[in-house]
Structure 1
């Protein structure tokens, strides 16, 4: 019986199930930051010769990379949790310092190593129902650009295809702010003045 046909003993993600040339190819791809040159692209392709053996090798290689991806994802999640906790603690101290500065009448504190001050900003604020309050009186739709009907038809795009797409309107705070500065009354929008605590 051919060696490939013999039942294999269970192996836990063993590198012995991956051909050495495939491991070398993976190392080259990683060294090249995932960019394939013509030689690597050719080596990556599977041929009919020894296809079953190569397919099994690829399968174990994919399983190995999936496991690495899961490990990285878990580490990212752990680091994101640490970052969130650090952000929360920093915000707690920033809020406490801000309240103290205002309570005792300080606009600025200087030392040889640290400067605490306020930076003024004028952000645009939108009400929570800003979009809904406007969209309830409107309809939003798409149409094929005038003059491009024939090209759209050649590409298989028609009004029925457009109906399959969801449009999600969003507000541009930049344009809203420009309108407010020009005196346009925009319901649910306003420019507010804020003093942001900064530490340098």
Structure 2
């Protein structure tokens, strides 16, 4: 029997005890005690089940960490192999290898941008060909102008 069914039975019997006709009936009192025992037993079983489920969480977490570490190790190993291959392709000057099932190609890429400290650069450099100016609307001023009735 399910816990909610036992609770329903308990409530029905308790309602009978509230009725003056059955309040002193020993059979009803005994039935209530029996249902209370069933309820207590069912609660105990549910608590045991919950604790059992909770006890499974830590080993699962440990296994997740183990698998994540294994995944990271495999990723790192793959990256090291790619770096190893790249270094040896650079060293030999060979840029393409046809292996039958796949092709390996390597090429040098040029640096696409220069990283600089913008504040330091702007403080020391005002050449127009090195600087771009971005014009953006001043939303605060536009809002104030609309409030003042100006045509924007």
Bigger radius of gyration among the two: 2
TM-score (norm 1): 0.35
Higher relative contact order (CA 8 A, sep 6+): 1
- Structure (1/2) with the larger strand percentage: 1
- Structure (1/2) with the larger helix percentage: 2
TM-score (norm 2): 0.44
